[in-house]
Structure 1
Amino acid sequence: MANITCKALSKQYDGGAPVLHPLDLQIDEGEFVVLLGPSGCGKSTMLRMIAGLEEISGGDLMIGDAVVNAVPARERNVAMVFQNYALYPHMSVYDNIAFGLRRLHTPKDEIDRRVREVAAMLNLDALLERKPRAMSGGQQQRAAIARAMIKTPAVFLFDEPLSNLDAKLRAQLRTDIKRLHQRLKTTTVYVTHDQLEAMTLADRVILMRGGRIEQEGTPTELYRRPRTLFAAGFIGTPAMNFIDGVVERSGEALSVRVKGEAWPLHGPRFGRLQDAQAVRLAIRPNYVGLTEGASPPGALALRGTVELVEVLGAEALVTVECAGERLAALVPSARLPAPGASVTLEFGMQDLHVFDTKTEENLALELQYDTADPPLRTPAARPMAKAGVHQGAI
């Protein structure tokens, strides 16, 4: 195992616009770090620079205590798993896994022992004699992981390894990769555009945007404390609700006006808000409650009409049209409003994020939670009246 250190690391092609702006990053020994972001944000370029497949334009890259800027890929003691499996089609699974050790002239008995040991970890024991064309996508990707593992590298690199698989296989392989890391504790850097993969796999997530690090932290930190509008919109499923508002401050009294409603705001975390400031408010669907009646005075609520009901199993995603805006609530699916029903969306002030429309900075972040984070929850909603409500079909 080894740590990875990036000091002002950057990438630029032939004098063009920077693909990766100078960044500093420390990945600790044994840590599982996910580089997350949309296409073109620089995450795969950074991974390939760590692997030695891309030249470094500026800064230093260290693996362990050594600067590896000029070290060839084969001498970096890293193993990379690609999106397209990259198995030799004419070789069996056994030969694909053993290929790297044979090139190192490892004794035959040692190769056999290590191939079978790695195959057992990834449930490939019964597939060792098969050719890749006779295997499913998930089996081929496990074989590719086994081939990378067998050389016991200091660093594992994964470049969107699950992108070509269906949803069920992705979930299965995510579990396999997580268990593998818990067993081996090898330093791992994993690239994906899928925030669900990042949230379920990572010890730490590096969210990237336009060749820069937008935010980094544990999955819980990024979910609960998004620092920017981009981070809030990218992290979380279902996606965050957004709606525009204007701050109204009169002495100590503070509120934000949204679609004709004045939402009172209290507490020190809203202290940075200025009178007449344009803001973008955000609330996660699982913190939104649905009620049938009118909300009490001073509540954070909006009245609207149900547009769409999507049953997901035990829960349902209800989309409500509120004065031209579409907002969603994730609610239990036992009793659901019918499309066209009039409902009220309610949520707690403690779950509201407030972003400056100009800087996109979260203005209500610092004191949003105590040091000990509260458990995730869905606010309890008042029962829906029978009129306009139907039983959810599960």
Structure 2
Amino acid sequence: MDAFLINWVKKSEKRQANTELETDNSCSSSKKPRIKEEVVSKIVLETPVLNDINCEDADFDLPVCWNKTQANNFQSANDWLSIKNKSLGCRVCKEIKTLGAYADKNLRLSTVWQDCLVQPNCTTKESQQSSLRKKIFEHKKSEAHNKALEISTQLKKKEIDCQVENMHEKHFSTTEKVFRTVYKIVKNQRPFVDLPHEVDLQVLNGISLGKILHSDKTCAAIASHIATEMKKNICKDIISTKKKISVLIDESTTLSKRTVLIVVLRVLFEDIPGDPYTFNLDLIELSDASAESITKELLRCLNEHGFDEFFLKHCFIAFASDGASVMLGKNSGVATRLKTMFPNLVVWHCSNHRLELAVNDVVDEVYGINHFKIFMDKLYTLYHQSPKNQNELREAANSLVPKF
């Protein structure tokens, strides 16, 4: 339209120049008719600017057979229609690009419509308009285009994200219920084999617990995970609030005849009324039972749980163990080594071990109890040497033998 207007103005000026020459030859008057600049400016300003077409480039033009009104009408009826470089295209097909999982052998998006390359056929204006109408109608009714519109609508509504979120929320909900059930079993000191029966009962009551995480082995794994996470949270709270701690240790022997060290923490929480809170921190396997090895492994265990040297110097206030010389020996026992590193440490001989020693002395002094003690020792020997028990010990020992 702009080029047509400029050409028209130039032709008008040329005709006017010829008229002025003819007037000069036929008339001696000094007044020459000419086209006023105000008229040309008015024509240019009143010419409509096509700036409301849905196109990607600023320098676009309409198809040769369309005017502005026709373009606006077609775009009003088809909001997916785009115009660029005298060609038509589909905005939705271009955004979707591919149908993905919806595509099959006979369902593909048109690359011509995606790239905005649709042009009219024929030569006459009416035929070209009819050709564009037919192509728009066929594309609008095509199955691929409708599927692209459906995908675009779903993306706008974020239905896929909502479905995934709902699916995850359902899995989290069922897993959370199973974890609560396992926690209840462990809290009441019930065996892990109770979990399948608990799940069956809750399913009969109409509670959904999913289809997995229902075995006794899973119950043991979940209980271990819960204990580990609770222990981490407790240690973080102790370190962050700088609470005073006491450490209790004791040696023991496993079925495989290996020496282990039981580490217990005792700490006072203000929000828990009553006595200080006591919990098992770790079980350490010892390479040897010397005082040096026990001290080294104990400090390493505390460091692994976040209790560094700075924290221990300010918050490690008490240490308790049995009365063995390796623990409380005044020259090189574990307590002596710890007191060297932490001078303000309070060392305490475990009251329960003191009581056991006192009872043992009483049994040695009262001869009548010796008969009962001998009877209990014989019972222990009888059951300890039973074939079933021996098989279990043999299997445990074989599992510890390295396989080559």
Q: TM-score, normalised by structure 1?
A: 0.20
Q: Which has the higher strand share?
A: 1
Q: Which has the larger radius of gyration?
A: 2
Q: Which has the higher contact order (CA 8 A, sep 6+)?
A: 1
